[in-house]
Structure 1
Amino acid sequence: MKELTKAEEQMMHRFWEMGRTTVKAIVEQMPEPKPAINTVSTIVRSLADKKYVGFKQVGRGYEYFPIVEKAVYRKQFMSRMMSTYFQDSFKDLVSFFAKENKIKPEELDELIQEVKQDLKNENEQS
């Protein structure tokens, strides 16, 4: 899966929210100041080239739809982030958020219990 630019990623969020849509409808949903329709169209075509969205001709225009599901992209994005910034260490990731006060000790305890339960359930199913 090719990496997305920030603008492409923001556009994908619109597709995941809206589903099948047109460039015109996307622009209408965007906050002021609205970008030029040509700008949005260029980003959408780039997403189609990268196989993130598909399209179907409807009359003289096109209807676009997401091909890559949000969960699939999130998994790929997080894997890349883990590899790039945390040397594939979940411990380093959690430690980072704990040190940045983004996770409270009680939340960390809950997370540990959830992971233990998930591992227990996996072992019971095997």
Structure 2
Amino acid sequence: MKELTKAEEQVMQLLWKQEKAFVKELVERMPDPKPAYNTVSTIIRILERKGFVGHNAYGKTHEYFPLISRKEYTRSFMKNFMRNYFSGSFQEMVSFFAKEDNMSLSDLDELMEDVKRDMKNEKTESDE
């Protein structure tokens, strides 16, 4: 999966949050200073070409919606990030951030419990 530019990601974040929107609505929800309508329209067309966004046509207007979920993109982005910066090692990545943030042992233990709980829940959901 291709990575998004900052501008593309900003538009996708809005689409993921709203589930579908017209360009005008996206522009309205962007932080100040708001980009021009044509700028957002161009970004949307690029996202469509990349396969991230689809649309429904209503006459001359188009309502856009994400084709890739936030979770799918995050998973792909993090795998690439881990591969590019931590030789694909999850352990190295977690160790780096734990040291950078001066995490305490109790915080690390809590993190491990959260991960175990999430993994157990995912396994239960996939078994159903």
**Same fold judged by TM-score > 0.5?**
yes
Percent identity among equivalent residues?
48
Give the TM-score of the pair, scaled to structure 1.
0.86
Matches within 5 A, 1:20-31: 20-31=20-31
Alpha-carbon shift at residue 112 of structure 1 (Å): 2.9
For residues 95-122 of structure 1, the C-alpha deviation after alignment (integer angstroms, 9 at most, x for no partner) is: 1111112633212112334455647x96
Q: Distance in 2 between matches of 1:57 and 1:116?
A: 45
Alpha-carbon shift at residue 63 of structure 1 (Å): 0.6
Q: Distance in 1 between matches of 2:79 and 2:103?
A: 20
2:34 corresponds in structure 1 to 34
- 2:15 is aligned with 1:15: yes
1:95 corresponds in structure 2 to 95
Q: Distance in 2 between matches of 1:5 and 1:28?
A: 20
Change (3 A) 1:31 1:112: closer
Which stretches in structure 1 are left out of the alignment for 5+ residues?
A: none
1:111 corresponds in structure 2 to 111
The residue matched to 1:112 in structure 2 has which SS?
helix
Change (3 A) 1:52 1:32: same
Which stretches in structure 2 are left out of the alignment for 5+ residues?
A: none
Equivalent residue pairs, number: 122
Alpha-carbon shift at residue 5 of structure 1 (Å): 1.1
Change (3 A) 1:27 1:116: closer
1:71 corresponds in structure 2 to 71
Q: Which amino acid aligns with 1:2?
A: K
2:48 corresponds in structure 1 to 48
The residue matched to 2:21 in structure 1 has which SS?
coil
Q: Distance in 2 between matches of 1:13 and 1:114?
A: 25
Q: Which amino acid aligns with 2:53?
A: V
